[in-house]
Amino acid sequence: MANLRPTRTFTRAPRIALRGTVPAAIQLENGRQFTVRLHQLSVTGGLLELATYIDERSRIMMGFAFGSMNVHANAELLFPMRGGLGYMQPFRFTGFGAGVRQTLEIEITKMLQQMMTAARRQRLSDRSPRFFLDSV
């Protein structure tokens, strides 16, 4: 008899590549504060660029401006990786203020749609005519 187990399909949250263009302020539990840069962002977490890494599983409070909103959230840092000039450290959100998660999801979706539209326009403008008569 076949063993039929329900399969789980996990869909990753949409993420946006910010490439260090968004500065963020983080505060450790002991009160130390750092300025970092966001490289990726989703509603579940993201990737930070830091000058020095912070211990894995450290809990932080973070704030940053994204789109038309200011995000204040709690997060947990994950295992750091050596980056170009410092460290890249992933994080996962552990808590948001009221309504922040939904607004962040809307802002990320809006930005992804704008990027897709811009990429589509770029592809159309870069397309050269296939035949000589198409260009006349």
Is there a domain that residue 43 lies in? Answer: yes
Is there a domain that residue 131 lies in? Answer: no
Distances (CA, A) of 65 to 2, 8, 21, 48: 53, 35, 11, 14
pLDDT of residue 127: 64
Domain count, the chain: 1
Is there a domain that residue 4 lies in? Answer: no
pLDDT of residue 4: 61
Structure confidence by residue, pLDDT tens digits, 48-80: 999 999 999 999 999 999 988 999 999 999 999
Is there a domain that residue 33 lies in? Answer: yes
Is there a domain that residue 132 lies in? Answer: no
Is there a domain that residue 79 lies in? Answer: yes
Is there a domain that residue 6 lies in? Answer: no
Domain that holds residue 75: 16-125
Structure confidence by residue, pLDDT tens digits, 69-121: 999 999 999 999 998 789 999 999 999 988 899 999 999 999 999 988 888 88
* CATH code (residue 59): 2.40.10.220
Is there a domain that residue 54 lies in? Answer: yes
Query: What is the Cα–Cα distance from 120 to 93, expressed in whole angstroms?
Result: 32
